[in-house]
Amino acid sequence: MSTYAIGDLQGCYEELQELLLSFKFNEDRDCLWLCGDLVNRGPESLKCLSYLHSIKDNCKIVLGNHDIHLLAVVEGKRKLSESDTFIDVLESSKLSTLKNWMMTLPFHYIESIETEGKEKEYIMTHAGIPPTWTKADLENNSNELSSKLFNQNPNSFLEDVFGNYPNHPKKCKNNIDQLRLNLNCLTRMRYYDITGSLNLEYKGSIEEAPKNLTPWFEHELKIVNDHTHVLFGHWAALNGFTNKKNITALDTGCAWGNKLTAMRLEDNEFFSCDKLN
């Protein structure tokens, strides 16, 4: 049995199938982890969701910002934007099945796996983990978001959690502010500024970043120790590089013309499939 952690799919169904062939994925034995953003930007969101739903017992999936956007559109809380490419999902007869399933998916996943003879604790989220969070903080904050999403309580949750502010825990005035900030950390985070506030405006390369911005994974992370390994997606411009031994960036921008990447957790070997067509 092997476990493969795969970067942002974003509707790249053909590349997913090629990638699975490249490591001879066995639906009866192997397990897939997906770091979120299953849909949007790429061509075949519906096929990606339908396939993963059909093998859901072999999958560990966390939600990304595009997945949450899709759910908000389905619930009538957000409008479809011109750049959205998931109309196939909205028009599908499987829409309610897929939506109900997605609502149950978490924002983090943690499992210990034996890697080259040693137990390693893999921790996966879509965008990353705030440096100040302990494992308990991650579990509590992530589970709170999941319960609000699943129960739609408050009913306006999928309306209220969009937006870039507040961007610091000290600026949160109420629970919905805190939920929005936590969701942004788990699904959209890239940089912190020198005041420790999340900066969601700048999305460019690290080389050209304003001097006051630092990637979240360059901070000392409370959650990281010798036995943990953090997996995240969301940030295609990193092209898989963090320069950190136990923090791996899985998004290699398939929907943007680059490639889809998988990491086998038992030996940390990488597989990839270039964008097709």
Where does this chain bind Mn ion (CB under 5 A)?
37, 64-65, 234
- Nearest residue to 43 (alpha-carbon basis) of 274, 267, 255: 255
Nearest approach in angstroms of CB 55 to Mn ion is: 22
- Closest CB to Mn ion among 37 and 44? 37
d(CA 265, CA 11): 23
d(CA 271, CA 253): 14
d(CA 12, CA 185): 25
Nearest approach in angstroms of CB 66 to Mn ion is: 6
Query: What single-letter DSSP state applies at residue 169?
Result: G
Nearest approach in angstroms of CB 127 to Mn ion is: 6
**Which residue sits closest to Mn ion, CB atoms considered?**
234
Nearest approach in angstroms of CB 87 to Mn ion is: 19
- Closest CB to Mn ion among 44 and 67? 67
For residues 189 and 128, the answer to whether their CB atoms sit within 8 Å is yes
Nearest approach in angstroms of CB 65 to Mn ion is: 4
- Closest CB to Mn ion among 81 and 93? 81
- Nearest residue to 7 (alpha-carbon basis) of 256, 184, 249: 249
Nearest approach in angstroms of CB 236 to Mn ion is: 9
- Closest CB to Mn ion among 44 and 233? 233
Query: What single-letter DSSP state applies at residue 167?
Result: -
- Closest CB to Mn ion among 32 and 63? 63
For residues 247 and 230, the answer to whether their CB atoms sit within 8 Å is yes
Name 260's Cβ contacts closer than 8 Å, sequence gap at least 6.
Answer: 6, 7, 9, 12, 15, 16, 19, 252, 254, 272, 273, 275
- Closest CB to Mn ion among 85 and 120? 85
